[in-house]
Amino acid sequence: MWGLCVAMGLSTIGFAGERFSSSVFINTTTRAFSGNLGTARNGSDFVSYLWCASTGSGVGWCHAKDASGVTASCVTTDAGMLETIRSLNSDSNLQVLYDNTGLCTYIYVATGSHFETKGP
């Protein structure tokens, strides 16, 4: 029993402090962009960005630019997507899909200790 407890404790320690960096990724063919806001902010390329905004009148936007200068963006008035945009913070992971007219079709936000945090 003691051996099992020790093994379980060590396996937990092995996963503690896990961190994921995810640079801005844009695929204009599949009309998708994603990344960690912290990784984009902390990047050394001084080109990449990733952000979303919303208004009180029910419109939201998401924008991305990768290290090579490729950009993508979309707009939404969908209440669920606006709520998701409003949950975004500087340490979040963002994933966005959009259609050929520039409308957002999917917005996913995840925030956790394993995502790279924004530096100064």
Apex 86 CA angle, 82 and 92, nearest 5: 120
Q: For residue 92, list its beta bridge partners.
A: 111
State yes or no: pLDDT of 2 exceeds 50.
Answer: no
Q: How many domains does the chain have?
A: 1
Backbone angles phi, psi at 42, to 5 degrees: -85, -5
Asked if residue 25 is part of any domain, the answer here is yes
Give the max Cα distance, the chain.
61
Q: Model-level pTM?
A: 0.81
Asked if residue 52 is part of any domain, the answer here is yes
Q: Give the C-alpha separation, 72 to 15, whole Å.
A: 34
Tell me the CA end-to-end span of the chain in Å, nearest whole number.
Answer: 47
Asked if residue 12 is part of any domain, the answer here is no
- How many of the other CB atoms lie within 10 Å of CB of 64? 24
The percentage of the chain sitting over the pLDDT mark of 70, rounded to a whole number, equals: 80
